[in-house]
Structure 1
Amino acid sequence: MGPVRGPALAALLAALLAAASPATPAGAVEVLTGTLRKAAASGTVVIGYRTSSIPFSYVEEGRGDGHPIGYAIDLCLEIVDDIGKAIGRDDLGIRYEPVTSENRIPAVVSGQIDLECGSTTANAERRRSVAFSPVTFVSATKLLVPRGSAIASYRDLAGKRVVVTAGTTNEAALRGLLARLKLEAQILTGRDHAESFAMVRDGRADAFALDDVLLYGLIASAGEAGRGFTVLPDKLSFEPYGIMFRKDDPALAGVVNATFARLAENRELRWTYEKWFLKRLPNGTRLNVPMSDELRTSFQVLGLDE
């Protein structure tokens, strides 16, 4: 289903709302399908989040309510608002469930979570199991190393220990590259990005292969200690991100696409990007990651007027 714009957006949400408004709540639930029916019946949308995917989805240390924050979380909250409008509920609640790189796809497929709001690459293999929103970010696999490291390029990885986070596309990209170059390196696995970064910080690994923007986020969150690390310029893979949800759910897909079209047309998509990638994060640091040409083009297709 393509993006929905302007009057078509209003018409879609109005049609969904009308379908969800028979004489009785029970009747409303019956005419809905998929995730919208689940949300109408339970009164809740379950958001899957990552604990250390800065600035997409993470838990800020010392934050009172313990809820995740980030760019992807903000986008998902907009989707939840539109789900509420579509099913005629202004009391729709949110339950947050932490997920990892390894269990995030099964959590969506099984119905444990309704939206996965993190830093997930939308590739062809994953689309066989789940669906994705329009592109939210474009990243690339790169290597983080300590400053002064002998590793100046991926060609220097022979005999080195490289950590990846379990369940990420970065591992496949790294293994494929090493195989093509006929380089022997030891690949280690961290449970999440924070653990993988810690393995480089304490010397258990020589390099960390991850999406570049996540590496910048980890460096920024480390404060002064982050100054001891750098991200190499070589790109090992192309990583377009999206919000993940259940496949074969056209009603939810319509709401998701409508949300992104709305955010593009009223420029909130740009403002949300700038909030998390150009302005100061809650901890006072800045990532200073300008919007890529690829992402700008994707947003323009959705209706963002430059």
Structure 2
Amino acid sequence: MAAGRVALGLSVWFAAQAGVSTAMAAPAKADAVVALPKVNGDLTGTLKKIRDTGIITLGYREAAIPFSYVNDKGKPVGYTMDLCYAVVDAVKTALNLPNLRVREMSITPQNRIPLVKNGTVDLDCAPNTITPERAEQVGFSNPYYVSEVRLLVNKKDNIQGLEDLKGQNLVASAGSTGERLARMQAEKIGYRVIPARDHGESMVTLETGRAKAFALDDVLLAGFRANARDPESFVIVGAPLETELNALMLPRDDLQFKRFVDTTLAHVYSSGDIRRIQRKWFQQPIPPRNVNLNLEPSKEVVEIWRKGSHVTE
């Protein structure tokens, strides 16, 4: 993993949050557990809407294994769903809303930003990449993961990277960073980019041979490979097209709600709960096919947890 670029990205991100979020990059006692958030003063923005309506709306993906996907019982589950439900539990306590209703809404890479911007979705519980362009329209929590955009290909095609795709089709989910990065080199190399509705459709396009490569975050690609009809037929290849910080997406300029979400994440990180969640979704069998991804957290991911574990009032 491109550790230097990630370290710079982390430093820039947390420095930019100073005075905006309660989460800070400064060292703290190793045994200090951050308390769950409280709301001081009048409610505004998203938290006020949640209190007034008694409803919080969470966005999820149908096939972003292991972060956010639908299991065999039709229930949205995953690593980021667990993080979002930690926020839900904190809201119930802080706002004294034991009967808070949770509305779960299936959304896609194309419509997530409009739905968060217009207030339809309060918190998008999916592997969202923090980018400057998106930050002009929506807000982000402190990051919870680091990933790399790479390619999933069929072994028999002997593809090692983008340069081997001349004259071929590459599939990427419309609105994803995979699509954006793939298009940047499509004309130069001479491949075609097929935009799919979502990640599940992208995988079907690859499996049926309509595309020779699928561009997406490496962790998500590992999930699709593990759950493919013939996992051994596929391999993740190529130098990283980009190293990304992943975060929960929320309304822009809603500082009260951002502080609330970041402090909840800081509690999850500092209490050690994040290790349990990591093991649950990355290091043991998960539905729907009881596949174990066997992915240890990278040092960059552990650093994200460390930096996001500290808060000041």
The TM-score with structure 2 as length reference comes to: 0.86
One-letter amino acid matched to 2:205:
M
What percentage of residue pairs aligned between the two structures are identical? 35
2:11 paired residue number:
none
**Aligned-pair distance for 1:84?**
1.8
After superposition, give the CA deviation of every residue in 1:215-253 in whole Å (9 maximum; x if it has no partner).
11111122x522211111421111211001001112111
Structure 1 unmatched ranges of 5 or more: 20-30
Matches within 5 A, 1:33-52: 33-52=44-63
Match of 1:204 in 2: 210
Tell me the secondary structure at the aligned position of residue 205 of structure 1. Answer: coil
> What amino acid sits opposite 1:276 in the alignment?
W
**Residues 135 and 295 of structure 1 are in contact (CA less than 8 Å); yes or no, is this contact kept in structure 2?**
no
Q: CA deviation at 1:258?
A: 0.9
Instruction: Indicate the residue corresponding to 1:28 in structure 2.
Output: none
> Are 1:121 and 2:141 an aligned pair?
no
Aligned length: 283
Mapped to 1, the partners of 2:277 and 2:34 lie a distance apart of 23
Q: Stretches of 4+ moved more than 3 A in 1? A: 4-10
| Unpaired runs of at least 5, structure 2 | 1-20
Distance 1:198 1:8, change over 3 A: closer
Aligned match of 2:23:
3
Q: Which has the higher contact order (CA 8 A, sep 6+)?
A: 2
Q: Any conservation in 1 of the 2:46–2:122 contact (CA below 8 Å)? A: yes
Give the secondary-structure state (helix, strand or coil) at the position aligned to 2:127: coil
CA shift, 1:86, in A, is 2.1
- Which residue of structure 2 aligns with residue 87 of structure 1? 95
In structure 2, the CA distance between the partners of 1:135 and 1:8, relative to structure 1 (3 Å rule), is closer
TM-superposed CA distance for 1:178, in Å, is 3.9
What is the match of residue 283 of structure 2? 278
Distance in 1 of aligned mates of 2:195 and 2:157: 20
Q: Is the 8 A contact 1:177 1:236 kept in 2?
A: no
CA distance in structure 2 between the aligned counterparts of 1:164 and 1:8, rounded to whole angstroms: 39
Find the counterpart in structure 1 of residue 199 from structure 2. Answer: 193
Which residue of structure 1 lines up, in the alignment, with residue 174 of structure 2? 166
The TM-score, its normalising length taken from structure 1, stands at: 0.88
Rounded Cα–Cα distance in structure 1 between residues aligned with 2:284 and 2:199 = 23
Question: Which structure carries more strand by proportion?
Answer: 2
Coordinate RMSD, CA, aligned: 1.8
Corresponding residue number in structure 2 for 1:24: none
SS of the residue 2:265 aligns to: helix
> 2:309 and 2:256 mapped to 1: Cα distance?
21
Q: Is 1:249 aligned to 2:254, yes or no?
A: yes
Q: Deviations over 1:80-127 (max 9, x none)?
A: 111222222111110111100100011100111100001110111111
* CA deviation map 1:16-53 (0-9, x unaligned): 3xx4xxxxxxxxxxx32111111111111000100000
**Pairing of 1:171-186 with structure 2 (within 5 A):** 171-178=179-186, 182-186=188-192
1:98 and 2:78 correspond = no
Q: Are the counterparts in 1 of residues 66 and 282 from structure 2 also a CA contact under 8 Å?
A: yes
